[in-house]
Chains A and B, each alone.
Chain A
Amino acid sequence: MRQGLVRALGGVAVLAVIAGSAACNSTKDTNSSSSGGKNCGYELAYFGALTGSSANLGVNIEQGAALAVEQYNTKNGKNCIVLKTFDSQGSEQVAPGVARQLVADTKIIGIIGPPFSGESQAADPTFDQAGIPMITPSATRPSLSTSNWKTFHRAVANDNAQGPAAANYIKSVLKAQKVFVADDQSAYGSGLANIVKSTLGPLVVGSDHTQGDGQQTDFSPTVTKIVSSGATAFFYGGYYQNAGLLRKQLTAQGWKGVEVAGDGVNDPGFSKAAGNAAAAGSIVTCPCAPASQAKGSFVADYKARWNQDAGTYSDVAFDAANFFLQGISAGNTTTTKLNNYINTNSYTGIANTYKFTSTGELDPSLLKVWAFKFQPDGTVAPDQEAPKS
């Protein structure tokens, strides 16, 4: 009988834990519609990672967009426009449910995000069917603009522009004669690596694939191949985690060449994984201008507001939010009108001028790709705008 009692108690305890966690229900929606000025009372949304292993990039973007909305509200009345945030964790599995949650809020008329290509693929169909215009400040997979989504916009160059730029940098600035190319088999990484390979042509002396972030940490076979290929430059299509470990393990095996990678490695996490000494001199390309070169007082404002330097794509997110806000203040307060506005108008922000083609890509004349270099103190500094050929 004693055991029966213990069991029953156990069952109750378990239920209590579940119920207890369910009871502390958050009521975040402070529905303050105390909107004074005209065209107020609407919402924008940030959709992307805020927690999880790839949260850094998402937080940069969210803070850039939030800054834009706050500045707008100081001019147009408190809580005029509300920025709602939706945490997708950057994951394809989580994104669809959260996207439906976003769509259910009919006050939202514009979306900044999603930041990553994988989650875009999973969530954008939902936004497209709901007709909500979105501007992604960082998802660079080329196929996103060819999926016939009418509300998709990309405020940066895609991988088709970034890949050749990286290859040209290797060819004309590094003047490498032997290049080794590897990728992590992610859609982003392999797409980029393939373009680099085809642009470099005969300069490529070897290639390899690794597994993705978190699934592989021992890269000794790849390191062996790179060392024995005699390459002086190594391009990695992938994210900073693996790229940093590769750099560290390459240095440990005595390889002295230069590692080059795309914007997925443009993160202080790279030098954290590799160590500043090993990371120094590594090149990352980015379809963005240096945040420090942003016009106006953005850099100082961002630092003052968030107590940290503006990160990769913070400025683009700031611009994207302002593009929406400009449209709203011009009276485009439905999703359809706002989408039309974005499609037909151009906007000059702090980082770039934005004008979208019919597929939602940035006008080709406005594409920018910059090369950045890791410094001996572990920071990333702009190197030069990547050569066009």
Chain B
Amino acid sequence: MTTVDVPPTAEAQTPAPLPRRKRNGIRSWFANLPWPARTGILVAVVAAAYLLPYTADVPVIGPQIITTGTDWRTTLFTVSYYILLSLGLNVVVGYAGLLDLGYVGFFAVGAYTVSLLSSPDSLWHTHWAWLETIPVAVAIAMLSGLILGWPTLRLRGDYLAIVTLGFAELIKIIATSTPGFLRGDTGFTRIPAPPGHHADGTPLFGVRDSTPYYWVGLTLVIVVIFAIRNLDRSRVGRSWLAIREDEEAAEVMGVRTVKFKLWAFAIGAFVGGLGGVMFAGFQGFVNSNTFVLQFSILVLAGVVMGGSGNIAGAILGGALIAYIPERLRGVTDPISHTDLFQWRFVMFGLVIILVMIFRPQGLIPSRRRAMELRDRRKEAAPE
């Protein structure tokens, strides 16, 4: 990921040409609509997203979409926190260009903070409600991002990758090996659910119906999307862009690279922690097995597959990595009628390879990144 020293050619100095297919995709069509139409479409999309739990009632198409081997609404919730995580990781990897292989570590910090503060199993015996734990949990997740980032962000790309990977493994090993404090594999039980009751007195966030959890997840996703979108269009976002394109040049131009890299890390950690908070509130049970390293790699695969550096891509990628394996549960193959389930990871791996081969920039490539890459094609991978 170091830039290879190629003397600047005339082509590289001229401004990058516009994307080849000149503004004829859905996105440009959307961007060119008058604002009331845009708002209307957005509202419709959001409303549709909130109505997803009732997909099964849609004739013909509905039963094809929902999962057969596992609860559809629970799958939707899973999808929602995967999207949250890919949005957060997208800030780190896609915007700032920092390869973070240990993102699950922040997810763990969030979930463990909730557990420590609210579970009756905790040594602290604070018994907080789920809502009260949120600010503390995300703050601590953010802090852990800063603590990890401060010494390591001076490392170059791939070294950063292995150190973040080590961080996630360390958190898991510490969680496993401190049976008293983080309770290892025994875990924290009876973590309180979000508050609220139905009219008949049963809890709103019960175990029979995961729809309310999904709605909370979806709402958080929307909030995070707006926040990140605004951030990306601010000075911070432009600094990230500069760092990602050429760190030395950015530094020379007066961008305080370490500071903005730290910001990216902290924001990523914040969102990851939020994902952990949601997970803990839903599951009611957190143990060290929850935070396997494969999980962070999966989320990273989602971000890159969807199209890194791009909110729509992160959403699509996060949704797909959560949805595909669940959808393949309980599906039989048409030829020999054996359960395809055991092959689902193989199929998943194949899908990843195919996506990356045919769409190396992801399913929804980032416009801005496409321009950058065109700009530095010569140096990126000379053939």
Chain A residues proximal to chain B, CB less than 8 Å: 4, 6-7, 9-11, 13-14, 17-18, 21-26, 28, 51, 87, 92-94, 96-101, 103-104, 118, 121-122, 125-126, 129-130, 141, 143, 147, 185-188, 190-191, 209, 211-212
Contacts and interface: CB of A to CB of B under 8 A. Distances in A.
Interface in B320-334: 320, 324, 326-334
A132 to B, nearest CB: 11
B68 A25 contact: yes
B184 A185 contact: yes
A24 B64 CA distance: 9
Given A10-B359, A129-B207, A187-B184, A51 B64 contact: no
Nearest to B355: A14
A121 B331 contact: no
Interface in B172-228: 173, 176-177, 179, 184-187, 189-190, 206-208, 210
B21 interface: yes
A186 B183 CA distance: 10
B71 A147 contact: no
A130 B208 contact: yes
A6 B358 contact: yes
A22 B347 CA distance: 12
A182 B342 CA distance: 33
B27 interface: no
Contacts of A98: 69-71
7 contacts: A10-B357, A10-B359, A118-B289, A185-B176, A187-B187, A187-B287, A190-B184
A122 B328 contact: no
A103 B210 CA distance: 12
Contacts of A97: 70-71, 74-75, 78, 326
Given A7-B359, A103-B208, A118 B287 contact: yes
A44 to B, nearest CB: 19
Contacts of B320: 18
A141 B185 CA distance: 12
A97 B357 CA distance: 33
Contacts of B289: 92-93, 118
Given A4-B21, A9-B358, A10-B357, A25 B331 contact: yes
A58 B285 CA distance: 22
Interface range, B side: 35 or more
B143 interface: no
A101 B209 CA distance: 10
B299 interface: no
A95 to B, nearest CB: 10
B351 A14 contact: yes
Contacts of A22: 64-65, 327, 331
B358 A11 contact: yes
B73 interface: yes
B347 A21 contact: yes
Nearest to B305: A14
A182 to B, nearest CB: 13
A191 B179 CA distance: 10
A17 B74 contact: no
A212 B176 contact: yes
Contacts of B70: 94, 97-98, 100-101
A148 B358 CA distance: 54
Contacts of A101: 69-71, 74
A188 B71 CA distance: 28
